[in-house]
Amino acid sequence: MGQEMAGFSLELPERNPNWVDQTTIRAIDSALIEVTYEGQGRELTIRKGAGSGDISGDYNAYGHEETVVVDGCRVTVKGTERKVAVAVWARDGYTYAVSAVPGMELEELTALAAAIR
């Protein structure tokens, strides 16, 4: 999805979240693929780009930040102690970001991060 323009592919979990009403896919030439799921007052954005920097686009200050290991990768998660708002990590020359409104449980986020390539 979006791989022709971005120059690389994005693998996502086989099932979309059950609350999704609309899915939007965007790609920036040789730089980024972004998939946004929206519905029922929720939004989930997944990004993949070349490199290793933070591509989340989220510059908010959060009360809770920690690093967890997911499938051998160090994933930085930010949000509250109960909900993750943003997660970023790098793997195999690519950087990834997940942003969730109103947030996700840590277990839900780690399962999602493990499925994204």
Neighbours of 37 (CB within 10 A): 19
At residue 103, the pLDDT reads 96
Neighbours of 109 (CB within 10 A): 24
CA-nearest of 5, 34, 30, 21 to 98 is 34
* pLDDT, tens digit only, all 117 positions of the chain: 556 778 899 999 877 788 899 999 999 888 899 999 999 999 999 999 999 999 999 999 999 999 999 999 999 999 998 999 999 999 999 999 999 999 999 999 999 999 999
Return d(Cα 12, Cα 45) in angstroms, integer. 12
Complete domains list, the chain, with CATH: 3-115 (3.30.200)
